[in-house]
């Protein structure tokens, strides 16, 4: 299992693009993927950014739509719903 953080695009560009070069883009946010063991350290290192932990995909969608700056720490299930909400799967067919 991994843990995820959603952070504003500008912070990713300024500080974390080298460490997380392939962070997926969701609206104006980037998704960071890190090992569970890194979660506590990451929250300590970036506490000044403001960090909220959300488990509801609807809450996270609201957070993103509102353009809020605090980082969101979340797990994979709400992340999948979030990704599908903002990046709808392509429709292919004959």
State in angstroms the smallest separation of the CB of 81 from another protein: 9
Looking at the Cβ atoms of 55 and 84, the one nearer to another protein is 84
State in angstroms the smallest separation of the CB of 7 from another protein: 14
CB atoms within 10 A of CB 27: 16
Near another protein by CB under 8 A: residue from 2, 41, 55, 58: 2
Near another protein by CB under 8 A: residue from 36, 53, 55, 56: 36
Near another protein by CB under 8 A: residue from 1, 18, 44, 48: 1
CB 9 within 8 A of CB 25: yes
**Would you call 81 exposed, middle or buried from its count of C-beta atoms within 10 A (0-12, 13-18, 19+)?**
middle
Count residues binding another protein (CB under 8 A).
28
Looking at the Cβ atoms of 18 and 88, the one nearer to another protein is 88
Looking at the Cβ atoms of 65 and 84, the one nearer to another protein is 84
Nearest to 71 by CA among 89, 94, 44, 92: 44
Nearest to 67 by CA among 8, 6, 12: 8
């Amino acid at each position: 299992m991994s843990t995820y953080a959603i952070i504003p695009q500008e912070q990713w560009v300024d500080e974390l693009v080298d460490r997380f070069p392939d962070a997926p883009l969701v609206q104006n946010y980037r998704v960071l993927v890190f090992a569970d063991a890194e979660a506590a350290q990451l929250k300590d290192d970036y506490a000044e950014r403001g960090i909220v932990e959300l488990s509801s995909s609807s809450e996270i969608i609201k957070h993103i739509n509102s353009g809020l700056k605090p980082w969101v720490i979340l797990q994979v299930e709400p992340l999948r719903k979030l990704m599908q909400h903002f990046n709808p799967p392509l429709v292919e067919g004959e």
